[in-house]
Amino acid sequence: MKVLVTGAAGFIGSALCLELLQDGFEVTGIDNHNDYYDPKLKSDRLARHINHSRYEHFKLEIQDRLAIQDLFKINNFEIVIHLAAQAGVRYSMENPSAYIDTNLVGFGNILEASRNYEISHLIYASSSSVYGANTELPFSIHDNVDHPVSLYGATKRANELMAHAYSHLYRLPTTGLRFFTCYGPWDRPDMALQKFARKILSEEKIPIFNNGNHKRDFTYIDDIVNGIKKIIKAPFKFDGNFNQKDPASSSAPWKIYNLGNNKSVNLMEYINALENSLGKKAHYEFLPLQLGDVNETFSDIDASVRDFDFKPTVDIEEGVEYFANWFLGYNQILI
């Protein structure tokens, strides 16, 4: 089976490529290798699988409609897993155009190419950020999600609606996966663990927003990747039940799932696990809630468990220790 993975040099994309290759898939990866963070990390992730006999890689912008169409035209992709996006809630306030260009225009190009070349299943990354101002916990796919509090979250919700239109009009099977705070080895430098680890080791103060009252559903990278793998061969088929009052229901081959750990953990517990793994205490600077942030995330994964046996297995202490060991080794830090 031939699979296209967009964002193949990214945190989740590269980890997924490794697993797909191990499982015998033929994988084509694309990435634009931009400088949102140090491109060396992307190159180092990619080095783990770029020379595999069943892997082919292209440096490509998903905003380039003609290039995307050409890529699909010369390949016979069966499955598309679209992970490429401009990430980051706070950065969306600094550079909104990047989110519009990549997350909206780019995703539109992927949808159109998937339609034109009869892709059997388009899987794409959504985000827990779509839940926005929602306060009822846990966050359920059956909740209304029409009150985003960040442009990033708004673009991800727009992706879900765009996918629904294509599923309805062209019977293109699409599945959106709402990731909940993915973490682990090879993550991005702008994510919490890398930022915190650097400050702990250099004895700088860690900025703790919302005065330490944040709670997040932290999900280990391997659990996210295993969830994606399980859904690949299970595109949603309309079973005749459609409730127009249920945001998770559709008469189209369209489905949304949460991929989370089904547990809400206080940010301070997360930091304490990192302190224990590094063997060093952190210095804190408590700050107010940042614009665009939410107090808490917590995933309801009942549908994911029911439909494709999704079972997160890695707890916070174990996952953070895996990250810390990678971080120290990758940066050649002795403690």
DSSP code string of 265-318: EEHHHHHHHHHHHHT---EEEE-PPPTT--SB--B--HHHHHHH-------HHH
Query: Among the listed ranges 15-19, 79-83, 284-288, which one has the minimum average pLDDT value?
Result: 284-288
Model confidence at 84, in pLDDT bands (50, 70, 90)?
A: very high
Give the distance, in angstroms, between the CA of residue 238 and the centroid of all CA atoms in the same chain.
26
| Residue 236: per-residue pLDDT | 75
Provide the percentage of residues in the chain whose pLDDT is more than 90: 86
Is the pLDDT at 256 greater than 80, yes or no?
yes
Q: 293, 209 in Cβ contact below 8 A?
A: yes
Model confidence at 289, in pLDDT bands (50, 70, 90)?
A: confident
| Residue 295: per-residue pLDDT | 86
User: Residue for token digits 């009942």?
Assistant: 302
**Model confidence, pTM:** 0.96
Is the pLDDT at 187 greater than 90, yes or no?
yes
Identify whether 253 is preceded by a cis peptide bond (ω within 30 of 0). Answer: no
- pLDDT average, residue stretch 209-226: 94
Query: Among the listed ranges 41-45, 241-245, 259-263, 326-330, which one has the minimum average pLDDT value?
Result: 241-245
Model confidence at 89, in pLDDT bands (50, 70, 90)?
A: confident
| Residue 209: per-residue pLDDT | 86
Q: 208, 290 in Cβ contact below 8 A?
A: no
* Mean of all residue pLDDT scores within the chain: 95
| CA–CA distance, 204 with 252 (Å, rounded to integer) | 52
- Phi, psi torsion values for 215, nearest 5 degrees: -130, 140
| Residue 19: per-residue pLDDT | 98
Give the number of other Cβ atoms within 10 Å of residue 48's Cβ.
14
Give the number of other Cβ atoms within 10 Å of residue 139's Cβ.
25
Is the pLDDT at 239 greater than 80, yes or no?
no
Is the pLDDT at 292 greater than 80, yes or no?
no
Would you tell me the crossing angle of helices 11-22 and 221-231 to the nearest 10 degrees? Answer: 60
Is the pLDDT at 190 greater than 80, yes or no?
yes
| CA–CA distance, 195 with 184 (Å, rounded to integer) | 13
Model confidence at 277, in pLDDT bands (50, 70, 90)?
A: very high
| Residue 88: per-residue pLDDT | 82
Catalytic site positions: 152
| Residue 87: per-residue pLDDT | 87
Of the candidates 169, 175, 217, 200, the residue with the CA atom closest to the CA atom of residue 278 = 200
The architecture CATH gives domain 2-187+217-263+297-313: 3-Layer(aba) Sandwich (3.40)
- Output b/e per residue, 126-135; b: 16+ Cβ within 10 A: bbbbbbbebe
| Residue 291: per-residue pLDDT | 79
Model confidence at 100, in pLDDT bands (50, 70, 90)?
A: very high
